[in-house]
Amino acid sequence: MSRTGTAAERRRSRRIIPFWILQAAGLLALVALADLSLHVGHGGTLVGAGAVYALLAVTADGPLGLLHLCNRRLHVLLVVVVSVVVALSPLVPVLRPDIEGIIILEVIAVGMLRLATLTNTAPPRPRPVEGGGPVIEVTATPVTATPVTDAPAPAPEPVTTTGAAARWAGRTAAAASAAASQHRPAAEEQVLRAIRNAGRLTGKATTGRHRQDPDPT
């Protein structure tokens, strides 16, 4: 690190007074000098000095500023310049007040000059949000659900000799049943014919037997 950077950091570390205090001091200087100007001769210089300090306070970019025309570093520089001018103003005969006024001007000028050299010009740091933390972005990716069957697919039955024989017997029985259903009327007719023939023969035999037996009466 260079020497210039080290010296700048040392000067910044010495500036421990908040910026708003310098602005408030400028406004209070106007009130104090305006009041004291009533008790000294040629007090217009005191009122003018206080008005300049108050004008710098309300035009600075700070908490008490109204117009925010000057940044903080420029405001501190202007306060230093004005303080030097106020301290040297008694040398001008037109602006010279009486001895009491000179003492008041010197005290105010030295006080504002010292306050400006100790004012911190760094902007305030943003406050962290309460409860804040790292934000994690999560993107959900839709996934198509695959249907899952509860029961596994049945395995193919092994081909065995017993199964083949059972299938052959089933086919044969079905064919026989179909053939029997086709020839059923002819079979029934034959059975009925046989029953009728048997009935005729039985009737003839019974009639012949009655003819051979003698009448018991």
Domain ranges in the chain are 9-117, 178-212
- Taking 50 as the threshold, does the pLDDT of residue 189 lie above it? yes
- Taking 80 as the threshold, does the pLDDT of residue 139 lie above it? no
Confidence of residue 217 (pLDDT cuts 50, 70, 90): very low
- Taking 50 as the threshold, does the pLDDT of residue 76 lie above it? yes
**What's the confidence (pLDDT) of residue 161?**
47
- The pTM of this model reads 0.54
Picking from 81-90, 94-103, 118-127, 164-173, which range would have the lowest pLDDT averaged per residue? 164-173
**What's the confidence (pLDDT) of residue 216?**
45
Rounded Cα distance between 32 and 49, Å, is 11
- Taking 60 as the threshold, does the pLDDT of residue 157 lie above it? no
Picking from 44-48, 110-114, 211-215, which range would have the lowest pLDDT averaged per residue? 211-215
Confidence of residue 148 (pLDDT cuts 50, 70, 90): low
